[in-house]
Structure 1
Amino acid sequence: MSEHEKKDEFFKPVGELVEETAGSKVPNNIQQDPNNPNVLYYSEPKDGETPVTTIDSLCMQCHNPHGKTNLLMTTIPHFKKIIIMSFECDKCGFKNNEIQTGNDLQVKGVLFNMDINKLLNNGDNYTKDLADFMNRQIVKSDYGVVSFQFIPLDQDKNEIVQFEIPKGKAQLSTVEGLMMDTILDLQALQHLRKYQNVEAYEKINELIHCAYSLISKNNNGKLEEIVDGQEQKIHESIEFDSEKVKKYSESINEIKVTIRDPSGNSFLEFKPFEEGSLISYNKKEFFRDDEDNFHIGLITKDQLEEKKVLNQVVDKYLPKIDEKSKDAASDKLVDEFVNDIETFVDSCPSCLDKHCITNMKPLNIPHFKQVLIMSTKCDKCGYKSNEVKTGGGISQYGKKTILTITEETIEEDLKRDLLKSETCKLFIPQIHLDIQEGTLGGRFTTLEGILKQVYDELYERIFQESYDSMEQETRDNWLSFFGNLSNVMSGKLPVGQDKIEVILIDPLANSYLQNIYAPDEDPNIVYKSFKRTKSENEDLGILELLRQEGLSEGEDEEVEVN
């Protein structure tokens, strides 16, 4: 058995560990190396022994050397391997618990965004969607940063309330759980801030009332926190101003949650898209920059400073090229290698080896534009990736493409070429498929190919790993979703449907769905152009460019262009 396989034996699912623990005795599975007392090693528990390990630890409150730390190595869906630690001191009563990831660093960092809006509309889905939003599972690793934004309907009268949970302690909780923890943590020192820093006290007091109003709204005004097995109401330990709670409850219209983790080991639970849902969700992966590599320990502070100095020197001595010369040079360059594959060497994003090879090939798509297909491979660590980037300038308008598929056309439609850019959203409402921008990255494949990638990603990485821990309703929704998706991939329409619609929405108009009737119009495809919103321009990083050019910063809502 390989070393990797042996290590996996230590991280068993929680269900198996519970069964092993029941009625078993407690061993000490962490032993000293007889040749070196400073080295500890882990031994797998014997038959009849619990996998929980207890070791003596120094209490950081009273410095008692005989505090007890319990360790449990296990696996949790989506978070893979974790080490659960619990400390208790019999002398002073101090208690603490935390988790640490047992995973390797991922090749890319992750960025999760989830928001729920129209909270003040009180529609049919309001209660269900708010509960769903608040109960989404969150895994925050040591390097993850979680941000919350509470956005009022009228931002002229009310300010946006926001807070951030910095990197540090790893946590396994829910959206509501993190908000509740924040209230308790901030309230702990409010009695000191009230006299030492009045301004900070007032701002934190507003934040506590805002978060409390939304948690209370989700619990019909009843909020309870479990402390040492006893129910303790938060509003009994904190003096809440009912007028402030009411103000935020009646003004907050949107909640946004963002998780950014350069290690790639954080997670925000995903559930199948439901038509009419107030919740939007997306996940993006990104390559770490030098600052990220420093913060997760891949490079030292000296190496970071060296890279900064080198970048400054390179920027200083690069030749300045005006826009016209730059465009002419780019056109000439494209003409020179349009039929060739360009190869260049750069650092591997996974192991940072400086001999990672990237191949790049330009490709002209008829009736669309030129794209760049890039393939990266590292011979040292085996890292591989493929990406597609569209060329050309920024489109004035966004583009919405709607393909109507019927039973007669589905086989041919599945063979259509599809270019999905990183900024494109893909929907099939009839089977509740919702792919947000950033998901899957840039892809150039067929419609059938993109559906297969979605199936593999969701089934293998989410559904299979969390099947046993799912609620029955959630499990049934997933099974229904996969059944409908499988039918479409095999050339069948979902039961009870006479047609389905594939909708591509790209604010940069960089996505493409093949017109099989070209150069004539495709009778099954409808194209719509729309003006981007200010929020979309900001997310795309072009808001400042529009300001410099004196152009419109965007609309409040997407507006179709005739």
Structure 2
Amino acid sequence: MNCFRNGVTRLLLTRIPFFKEIIVSSFSCASCSWSNTEIQSAGRIQEQGVRYTLAVTSRQDMNREVVKTDCASARIPELDFEIPAFSQKGVLTTIEGIIDRAVAGLEQDQPARRVMDKEVARKIDEFIGKLRQLKEVNSPFTFILDDPSGNSFVENPCAPQRDEALVVTHYRRSPQQAAVLGLEGEEVDAKLPDAAEDLRDEVLQFNTNCPECNAPASTNMKLVQIPHFKEVIIMATNCDSCGHRTNESETCSVEIPELEFELGMGALGGKFTTLEGLLKDIRDLVEKNPFTLGDSSTPSRTGKLQEFIGKLQDIIEGKAQAHFIMDDPAGNSYLQNVYAPDEDPELRVQRYERTFEQNEELGLNDMKTEGYEPEAASGR
């Protein structure tokens, strides 16, 4: 679209664990050397939206990999600047690339503006200058990527350790966001039980799509009483097409202090598994991440991650000891006490009051729970 001669477009279907599958489209022109890279989501829309908030403090932060889908918006609050959703196509780039694309978009119509309205053109030139100054990172600024589809991503260069500069928040989509994404209200296919009906011995089944290959699959749902814990609903999906299996709290974070490892909530999804199975899932998450072990990685980072995987494998095989910490502010996670009802000398369970920030993430601060009693209702 630059010189209107023939170029070459290459397509690559790849799977990145943090946001499922994407299609990378790369175009290059031998005549004018113009190139362009775009991405499209090849997987299903995620169960929750995602918001990445990054404190940009150095030039290294500008080089962080970013996957921005076309339905994601990007904001820089310090400049009161926002790239609205659907104003750009999906792209695989860096934070510096996001800013460069915004500058290119603003400059596109500047020649016409300078003729039609010089004052507006002057103000836009000033703003373009401020955007370009951001790339030098002379002062810190905040980069926010908000995607209601849950398919965008900002690189964590500290992986598998926690990134103190990056906050990842998963949230429930609003009805307006769901409508923009073309999602209708979910209908419950399973019959809701009466109060007297006991579903503990019954497995309910409803149709769904595989989260990996999007092929038709079935999800089983069962109410289970876990001894010395509480009742939980287990949802398991098995796909006959690709063999993917999953069982659904996404509010639990995991920490292994000996490895300086921390995994934020929602990264692995909800699971009903064993401790060994959870450790293997962590290992697979690191091994299959192309941003950390693929062509885009550096030799020093690859060496550190290979060392981490080796230490984690030693723990899985029982060759090394480590502490395993699960922290769930929702209180819905559980680690089995094999000595129950006696005390497990190796297991410590600690209950605590949630902080305001934890309640905010769980949506509890705005939840109204008073005033629904029969007496209050009759007095209105």
Give the TM interval when normalised to the shorter protein: 0.7 to 0.9
Residue in 2 aligned with 1:368?
229
- Counterpart CA distance in 2 for 1:505 and 1:193 is 57
- Counterpart CA distance in 2 for 1:112 and 1:515 is 34
Distance 1:260 1:500, change over 3 A: same
Query: Which structure has the highest helix share of the two?
Result: 1
- Structure 1 residue identity aligned to 2:63: N
Q: Is the contact made by 2:252 and 2:327 (CA closer than 8 Å) also made in structure 1?
A: yes
Shift of 1:507: 1.9
Unaligned runs of 5+ in 1: 1-58, 61-65, 120-126, 152-159, 222-248, 315-325, 389-420, 494-498, 551-562
The 5-angstrom pairing of residues 531-546 of structure 1 reads 531-533=354-356, 535-546=357-368
Distance 1:366 1:87, change over 3 A: same
Deviations 1:512-560 (A, max 9, x none): 1223343344444151413232x443432333314x749xxxxxxxxxx
- Secondary structure, aligned partner of 1:511: coil
- Counterpart CA distance in 2 for 1:504 and 1:197 is 59
Distance 1:469 1:206, change over 3 A: closer
Q: CA RMSD in A?
A: 4.7
Residue in 2 aligned with 1:332?
196
Residue in 2 aligned with 1:134?
62
Shift of 1:69: 2.9
Distance 1:500 1:98, change over 3 A: same
Deviations 1:271-314 (A, max 9, x none): 44476852336597999x9986985xxx8xxxx8xx68x98xx9
Residue in 2 aligned with 1:69?
6
- Secondary structure, aligned partner of 1:172: strand
Q: Is the contact made by 1:272 and 1:433 (CA closer than 8 Å) also made in structure 2?
A: no
- Counterpart CA distance in 2 for 1:449 and 1:175 is 35
Select which of 91, 100, 106 maps to 2:43.
Answer: 106
Residue in 2 aligned with 1:13?
none
- Structure 1 residue identity aligned to 2:247: E
Q: Tell which has more relative contact order, 1 or 2 (C-alpha 8 A, sep 6+).
A: 2
- Counterpart CA distance in 1 for 2:118 and 2:361 is 35
Deviations 1:380-427 (A, max 9, x none): x66855333xxxxxxxxxxxxxxxxxxxxxxxxxxxxxxxx1011111
Distance 1:450 1:203, change over 3 A: farther
Shift of 1:187: 5.3
Select which of 27, 31, 46 maps to 1:85.
Answer: 27
The 5-angstrom pairing of residues 223-262 of structure 1 reads 249=139, 252=141, 255-261=143-149
- Secondary structure, aligned partner of 1:473: helix
Select which of 300, 313, 329 maps to 1:486.
Answer: 313
Q: Is the contact made by 2:66 and 2:93 (CA closer than 8 Å) also made in structure 1?
A: yes
The 5-angstrom pairing of residues 192-341 of structure 1 reads 192=113, 209=130, 212=132, 214-217=134-137, 221=138, 249=139, 252=141, 255-261=143-149, 264=151, 267-273=153-159, 277-280=163-166, 282=168, 331-333=195-197, 336-341=198-203
Are 2:287 and 1:459 equivalent residues in the alignment?
Answer: yes
Query: Which structure has the highest strand share of the two?
Result: 1
TM-score normalised according to structure 1 size: 0.52
- Counterpart CA distance in 2 for 1:201 and 1:147 is 24
Shift of 1:475: 1.1
Identity %: 25
Distance 1:509 1:423, change over 3 A: same
Distance 1:459 1:282, change over 3 A: farther
- Structure 2 residue identity aligned to 1:135: N
Q: Is the contact made by 1:115 and 1:280 (CA closer than 8 Å) also made in structure 2?
A: yes
Deviations 1:234-273 (A, max 9, x none): xxxxxxxxxxxxxxx37x5x544344546x5x55434444
The 5-angstrom pairing of residues 428-447 of structure 1 reads 428-447=256-275
Q: Is the contact made by 2:283 and 2:312 (CA closer than 8 Å) also made in structure 1?
A: yes
Q: Is the contact made by 1:146 and 1:260 (CA closer than 8 Å) also made in structure 2?
A: no
Deviations 1:157-180 (A, max 9, x none): xxx845235334232321222124
Shift of 1:357: 3.2
- Secondary structure, aligned partner of 2:367: helix
Shift of 1:372: 0.9
Are 2:350 and 1:527 equivalent residues in the alignment?
Answer: yes
Aligned residue pair count: 358
Residue in 2 aligned with 1:358?
219
Shift of 1:136: 1.5
- Secondary structure, aligned partner of 2:326: strand
- Secondary structure, aligned partner of 1:85: strand
TM-score normalised according to structure 2 size: 0.72
Q: Is the contact made by 1:375 and 1:387 (CA closer than 8 Å) also made in structure 2?
A: yes
Distance 1:208 1:452, change over 3 A: farther
Q: Is the contact made by 2:315 and 2:322 (CA closer than 8 Å) also made in structure 1?
A: no
Q: Is the contact made by 1:134 and 1:176 (CA closer than 8 Å) also made in structure 2?
A: yes
Deviations 1:171-216 (A, max 9, x none): 232122212432443355578499969899979967973x555432
Distance 1:453 1:377, change over 3 A: closer
Q: Is the contact made by 2:219 and 2:237 (CA closer than 8 Å) also made in structure 1?
A: yes
Residue in 2 aligned with 1:423?
251
Q: Is the contact made by 2:208 and 2:219 (CA closer than 8 Å) also made in structure 1?
A: no
